Chains A and B, each alone.
Chain A
Amino acid sequence: MHDVGYVAAGYAITMATLAGYRWHLAARTRRARRYVSAVTRHPLGGRRPK
Chain B
Amino acid sequence: MRYLYKALTVAGSYRAQRVMGIATLAGLAATIAIGLFVVPPDATQGEVQRLMYVHVPVAWVTFLAFGVVFLASVAYLITKRIQWDRVAAASAEIGVGACALTIVLGSLWGRPVWGTWWTWDPRLTTTAVLLLIYVGYLSLRMVADSPARRAKWSAVVGVIGFIDVPIVHESVVWWRSLHQQATVLRLGPPTIAGSMLATLLLAFLSFSVAYGYLMAVRLRIGRLEDRSAAPVSSPTPRARRPRPVGIATSVDIPTSADIATSAGTDLHA
Report which A residues bind B (CB closer than 8 A): 2-4, 6-7, 9-11, 13-15, 17-18, 21-22, 25, 28-29, 32-33, 35-36, 39
Contacts and interface: CB of A to CB of B under 8 A. Distances in A.
B51 A10 contact: yes
Contacts of B54: 10-11, 14
A3 B28 contact: no
Contacts of A28: 221
Interface stretch (B106-114, B154-162, B166-174, B188-196): B106-114
B217 interface: yes
Interface residues of B, number: 32
A44 B210 CA distance: 27
B260 interface: no
Contact of B228 (A9, A22, A35): A35
Contacts of A25: 214, 217-218, 221
A7 B214 contact: no
B228 A21 contact: no
B112 A2 contact: yes
Given A15-B28, A32-B221, A39-B228, A6 B36 contact: no
A15 B231 CA distance: 38
B221 A29 contact: yes
B92 interface: no
A7 B37 CA distance: 12
A6 B51 contact: yes
A7 B50 contact: yes
Given A9-B108, A10-B108, A32-B221, A21 B214 contact: yes
B240 interface: no
20 contacts: A2-B112, A3-B48, A3-B112, A4-B47, A7-B47, A7-B50, A7-B51, A10-B105, A11-B32, A13-B108, A14-B105, A17-B97, A21-B214, A22-B217, A28-B221, A29-B220, A29-B221, A32-B221, A32-B228, A35-B228
A29 to B, nearest CB: 5
A18 B32 CA distance: 14
Contact of A29 (B28, B46, B224): B224
B224 A33 contact: yes
Contacts of B101: 13-14, 17
B266 interface: no
Contacts of A35: 228
Given A6-B48, A35-B228, A36-B227, 11 more contacts: A3-B46, A7-B36, A10-B55, A10-B108, A11-B54, A14-B105, A18-B28, A25-B214, A25-B218, A32-B224, A39-B228
B225 interface: yes
A36 B225 CA distance: 8
